[in-house]
Structure 1
């Protein structure tokens, strides 16, 4: 890591990004400690790895001989540990700086974009690892088959999820950057879509002369941005898409997903499949992964075989249980585009009805994307909306879960919707409406995930 520190402390170590960085740093011989407000699966994994984790934030948690303190953008200046670190003159690094430093001496393969970056980076890490190349990776989700979001390998590749939410992804030094899409999000930070495009241009400008930008054909402006900063650009998409270099063609259904062929600019083509991740968007993600492999000069046939073993990411169309013929799935989708893609994929599966329990995430996002939420739920048979998960934000007057309900009904007055802001009423409401052959998706980036196992137990009569 930067200046090769021997001892570092993470404030908010239980966060999915922070915990991954801490695990990799620990595995590389750094003495790691950290604090968080509560115990979690992530903090338990850290403790099992030999990391000292303290519950609660207190200046006394900082050791006397720290070389650095790592924070995320979620940590306010008033945090007692951060205030103490500044007072003592301990170097304070942003999470993204620590993430970047772990890639020193390796080729960083960075997956970015408004949507799909966790799934895509997980696909890429699984593929590179199962090609026998032993990569390191730090990802914003738990990868199925690894039961972790981070790994320190001996190989030359370092795979990261590049988070654009606060603009800090410009601290990375990518060798190849995959960008899935760009849409309005995190407008509380950027202010406008143009500012987001500018940030991605800055990010892609970091690529070296022998690197590459791998960008999706569904967003033509992405290729313009990449070429505008003078970088080698590889466009991936569906066969027939304009300007497509690495192109997929679906050949049939496989499990929840699809079998498909992918062709490359040199005339090579491979066959592969994604069986546990429904939807065209996941075929696109997989095609982008093979585009990165091709850009690196690796064996695409071997990669296609490795990619076919990918089984998913926790909270991405994650099967929680099935009771009484009702299937319960949990999903992280919280932006209208993600919501639409997930529900459309579910609607193509063999269920009688698709129901969605949705928790809006952040007041600012609910306000800025209110209009877009309406059509996002078109393919759902019914939608139950909880109140907003604040994620640390101050409430905005007039912005609640009902904001989403109103948007849905303006778009489709006949849609079956319910606003249930009081959590105790949700399970009884669902039990009255779900029947054998139905799918229910708990959806959102907040604590709605806790409702999925509760509902599964309730369906079982427990």
Structure 2
């Protein structure tokens, strides 16, 4: 795929600085497509795209859409871009093909051997682990990953083969656009309440994703996957259960933990594979690695070499990413924005930093998620020694409306659950709020959330 086999020669990406869109820009550029794009604020990510030779516009203007060459071109927008965006309006007026990010990735997946990773939690880490396993086995996949991977040089790339590894996001049923060859369902948890108000809605969506596999396609599922989803899987799909139970097809045995990182021996039915020694903190990474190994093997990777790729993988930014400050202090930065993820991160931190005081700076993502899971958030954050709660990041929700929940009420809920918590206001104010709690030499700050936290992390790291 080093030379473009795509049906396009030009692409304009609206919202090019997003985690998915920037990866798509890198992928298309690597395929020989002439890429341009726009975003409303500058960033290190946009500068990196410029260094590749991609033309990036700041702000959104109809003039940014260059009509030259669009006989074979796409205009692609992120889900955050509104219908009245001037670039989108101009493109539609001129009759240009316009797609959402998920639709564009779905079209790219056609005709390729696509490995898709779905689940409420762990998609980014598992996708990256799969790429690492494939590369260690001598394969050169293309990939789109929802986070920056320093060891890969970014979050998207066009490989030389026909393999395409991609996250399959359930938001807005985006993963229904994919045409995977093999796929994974890591887990299911209530989430995205604006899309899935009821649990059954989420199950039906994941069932639809499973049904997109071709006959003979392999589907890797957690051993405790909902029966409703299992019942909807076509009979000609090869289902592989992953877990720790005796009846799992691919499982981890001889699991050991050292300072928060785990090693294990993968076993597929009765066959043992080489031992994996993960560099990633958290017991949940064992399951992620098993899913990645299964997908890599389904794509033809040698299991011994793939296992080495799992062991050598150093991680994704903002996934239990440990920073060291100039005074030797440690800080954990993580994308956790769901109660189950917070629990997993705190458990990993207790193992990685035994006996240390864990101080959390947290910004919830979306009012609807916070309101629907308020009790679960409170119980999760109560596991920390102290939490400072920023105001909720609204994302696509209107912050001027009364949603019945805010940062103050979340902090109060944590206290009612037996934890220690205070309201911290804007994320910009959290550094000054957190620092007094870090004066003890044994304190470790954890910055959790999917909102506006990058500046906070940088400021704290400078001061610890």
Q: Counterparts of 1:109-258 in structure 2 under 5 Å?
A: 109-221=115-227, 224-225=230-231, 227=233, 230-240=236-246, 243-254=247-258, 256-258=260-262
User: CA separation in 2, counterparts of 1:321 and 1:226?
Assistant: 47
Write the deviation string for residues 201-247 of structure 1: whole angstroms up to 9, x where unpaired.
Answer: 1111111112111011243538725646652110111144xx31101
How far apart, in 1, do the equivalents of 2:5 and 2:101 lie? 12
Q: Distance in 1 between matches of 2:254 and 2:412?
A: 37
Task: Report the TM-score when normalising by structure 2.
Answer: 0.93
Instruction: Output the aligned Cα RMSD.
Output: 2.0
Matched, 1:96 2:99: no
Q: Secondary structure at the match of 1:348?
A: helix
**Alpha carbons of 1:184 and 1:133: their partners in 2 closer, same or farther (altered >3 Å)?**
same
Q: Following the alignment from structure 1 to structure 2, what is the Cα–Cα distance between the partners of residues 456 and 233? A: 45
Within 5 Å, give how 1:40-439 maps onto structure 2: 40-65=43-68, 66=70, 67-221=73-227, 224-225=230-231, 227=233, 230-240=236-246, 243-254=247-258, 256-275=260-279, 277-351=280-354, 352-395=356-399, 396-397=401-402, 398-412=404-418, 415-423=419-427, 425-434=429-438, 435-439=440-444
- Give the match's secondary structure for 2:324: strand
Distance 2:426 2:29 in 1: 42
Q: Which of 32, 36, 50 is the matching residue for 2:35?
A: 32
Q: 1:205·1:229 contact (CA, 8 Å) conserved in 2?
A: no
Alpha carbons of 1:2 and 1:98: their partners in 2 closer, same or farther (altered >3 Å)?
A: farther
Deviation at 1:89, TM superposition (A): 1.4
Residue 297 (structure 1) shift:
4.3
1:447 match: secondary structure: coil
1:372-413 deviation digits (Å, cap 9, x = unpaired): 21111243111110001111420241321123213222322x
- Report if aligned partners of 1:16, 1:42 keep a CA contact under 8 Å in 2: no
- CA drift of 1:168 comes to 1.7
Q: Distance in 2 between matches of 1:115 and 1:129?
A: 24
The farther-off stretch of 50-59 and 446-455 is 446-455
- 2:17 aligns with 14
Compute the displacement of 1:335 (Å): 0.7
1 CA distance for matches of 2:427 and 2:315? 29
TM-score scaled by structure 1? 0.93
SS across alignment from 1:420: strand
Structure 2 unaligned blocks of 5 or more: none
User: Mean alpha-carbon deviation: is it higher for 10-19 or for 59-68?
Assistant: 59-68
CA distance in 2, matches of 1:142, 1:134: 18
Of the structure 1 ranges 251-260 and 25-34, higher mean CA displacement relative to structure 2 is found in 251-260
Count how many residue pairs are aligned between Structure 1 and Structure 2. 454
- Distance apart, 1:436 and its partner CA: 1.3
Change (3 A) 1:143 1:423: closer
- 8 Å CA contact 2:260, 2:349 repeated in 1: no
Q: Distance between the aligned counterparts of 2:228 and 2:268, measured in 1? A: 19
Measured against aligned partners, the alpha-carbon deviations of 1:88-116 in whole angstroms (never above 9, x if no partner) come to 21111121222133334321001110110
Residues 195/230 of structure 1: CA separation in 2 closer, same or farther (3 Å cut): farther
- How far apart in 1 are the matches of 2:13 and 2:428? 35
Query: Which of 440, 447, 450 matches 2:455?
Result: 450
Q: 1:28 offset after TM fit, Å?
A: 1.1
Of residues 194-203 and 421-430 in structure 1, the stretch that sits farther from structure 2 once superposed is 421-430
Unaligned ranges ≥5, structure 1: none
Q: Could you tell me whether the CA contact under 8 Å between 2:143 and 2:156 is conserved in 1? A: yes
Cα distance in 1 for partners of 2:270, 2:163 equals 24
* Contact residue 321 and residue 327 of structure 1 kept, 8 A: yes
